[in-house]
Amino acid sequence: MTDPATATTAPATALAITRVPRTPLMPVSFMQQERLETGRDTQLVNNKIAVGVRFDGPLDIGLLEKCVSFVGSRHESLRTTFPVTDEGYVLRIGADTGVALRVFTARGATRELRLADALRVLSDDACRDYDLSAGPLFRAAVARVDENVHVLCLAMDHIIIDAWSVRVMIDDMLAAYTAHAAGREPDLPALPVQFPDYVAWERGYLGGPALDRLVGYWRKQLDGIDAIPSSGLVDPAMAGGSGRPPRLVKLARPLGHQLAADIKGLAQSEGTSVTGVVSAAVKATMWKHRRTTMGDEQAGDVATFGSLANRARPETQRLVGYLSTVTTLRTVFRGENTFREVVALDARTLWNALRHQRIPHSLIMKEIGSPLYGARYRDPKAMPSYMNFDFDLLETTQEPLRPPPGLAARVVTIPNPEVPRGGLRIIGYQMDGGMTLELRYRDDRFSAGWAAGFMGDLHRLLAQVSEDPETKLNKIF
């Protein structure tokens, strides 16, 4: 069975993403190929994205449907499907037939009850299964809370979109609504390239010397660990498991305005980012807990799992698709290192990952021969226990939405029954000048007491090193 990507893609360079001819069946990206090979028919909640927008004011639902269809028309990725053919795994761009907007009416005696019902109904609707072969993979629904409150849900299969793209979609939709409400056609900049063009570039660029160079870097970086790295963290209290299906539990820890300001000050003084300081602190805290089951040297070989936007080229800034890639961030240090030294080491780790992010993690695993290829698309209970650190939210302070005149709009969370995968995830938020760190953990692997202890250690370390970054790790713990 021939992969059409290898037969139709011209050579590419690191600096050229250009438009390619459209054909009925086009190549898929390496990330999409991993999903199609290992989890085409697996329906995991983690593979579904649902984003909500709350509108306050007199919303025109008919006009909203027109604007959602405009977004589907503007971005080819939202109209793609992945049929099974004799030619291999392919991407098909669907016809521009519009997007049907499902309409629900929330129930409840009060606005608060109706809003909760709206979110529940939209969540249930968003979690419906997707058919990757036939589509549609982009759906929309709106729930009417009352005449002046509506919640829109844009639901997509993850195979066609990443988090960066979501804000692009919302901005385009609101701009279209503003224009149509004023009797004008939307006046948005033309898109120089679309996702199929990016795929053609990726397939062409990641071959020959470029592929060898990038794989060589990651082969060296991952020597001795898995491409999906084990956190090395265990909770002795959960050695026998919980005996029930795993649930996701969230534990948020606000750092306070003063500590947040101190962390930003430390980042500036060290010539790094808030992400770099918090990442180093997370790894130092992991080192402390890893020492309960391993020696100091092994405990200091710490790797986390994260995501990179992979949007280095200007023509990809407004592109809707799945360009982001997960990455392994490995840093080696000892208890004798000062926190300042750990920050410098970890900053180098992140910088090198950014320099080598053009190769997606799926291709790294395939080239290195990892048996974990496709693990993220299979049964989450079989996933290795890793620490995921989402750092983008610590740095990204997006501008508020620009709603049409007469309406207020803001992003709201659509409840998502997320399936626990790696076991541990830390997300950082900047809110109102302060900072919050949230630990999400699987309750079949970690207890509430262990989670509270880990977050307490992380908070204590940040408070101490913000005052004295020359403190050695073995003097903190």
Other beta carbons within 10 angstroms of residue 200's beta carbon come to: 24
pLDDT digits (tens, 9 = 90+) for 385-417: 899 998 655 555 567 899 999 999 999 999 988
Place of tokens 């910088």: 351
For residue 421, name the pLDDT band (cuts at 50, 70, 90): confident
pLDDT of residue 394: 56
Token couple for 248: 């996701």
- pLDDT of 10 > 50? The answer is no
CA angle 392, 397, 403 (to 5 degrees): 125
Highest mean pLDDT (candidates 1-10, 250-259, 417-426): 250-259
Lowest-pLDDT choice from 119-128, 173-182, 254-263, 387-396: 387-396
Residues 253, 250, 162: CA angle, nearest 5 degrees = 105
**pLDDT number for residue 156:** 97
Q: What is the C-alpha to C-alpha distance for residues 230 and 365, in angstroms, rounded to an integer?
A: 15
CATH 1.10.10.10 holds for 4-199: no
Structure tokens, 27: 């190549």
Residue 439 has pLDDT above 80, yes or no: yes
Three-state secondary structure string covering 28-76: CCHHHHHHHHHHCCCCCHHHEEEEEEEEECCCCHHHHHHHHHHHHHHCH
User: Is domain 207-398+414-476 given the CATH code 1.10.10.60 in the classification?
Assistant: no
Q: Alpha-carbon torsion 85, 86, 88, 91, what sign?
A: negative
Q: How sure is the predictor about 15, in pLDDT bands with cuts at 50, 70 and 90?
A: low
Which sequence spans correspond to the domains of the chain?
A: 4-199, 207-398+414-476
Calpha distance 326→365 (Å, rounded): 11
pLDDT at 214 over 90: yes
Q: Do domains 4-199 and 207-398+414-476 have the same CATH topology?
A: yes
Winning range, highest mean pLDDT, from 8-22, 136-150, 233-247, 303-317: 136-150
Predicted confidence (pLDDT) at residue 13 exceeds the cutoff of 70: no
Q: What percent of the chain has pLDDT over 70?
A: 94
pLDDT of residue 218: 96
pLDDT tens-digit series, residues 19-30: 999 999 899 999
Amino acid (1-letter code) at residue 433:
G
Angle subtended by helix axes 163-181 and 61-74, to nearest 10: 130
Report the pLDDT value the prediction gives residue 384, as an integer from 0 to 100: 80
Mean pLDDT of the chain: 91
Taking the model in full, what pTM does it have? 0.90
Which of 455, 477, 458 lies closest to 263 in space, CA to CA? 458
**If 0-12 CB within 10 Å is exposed, 13-18 middle and 19+ buried, where does residue 118 land?**
buried
> In the chain, what percentage of residues exceed pLDDT 90?
78
The predicted structure's pLDDT at residue 348: 95
- Bridge partners (DSSP) of residue 461 are none
Q: Taking the CB of residue 384, how many other CB atoms lie within 10 A of it?
A: 15
Q: How far apart are CA 451 and CA 241, in angstroms?
A: 15
* Residues facing 306 on adjacent strands: 327
Does the pLDDT of residue 172 top 70, yes or no?
yes
Predicted local distance difference test score (pLDDT) of residue 9 = 39
Instruction: List strand residue ranges (DSSP E) for 171-291, in order.
Output: 248-254
Beta strands in 121-162 (DSSP E): 138-146, 149-157
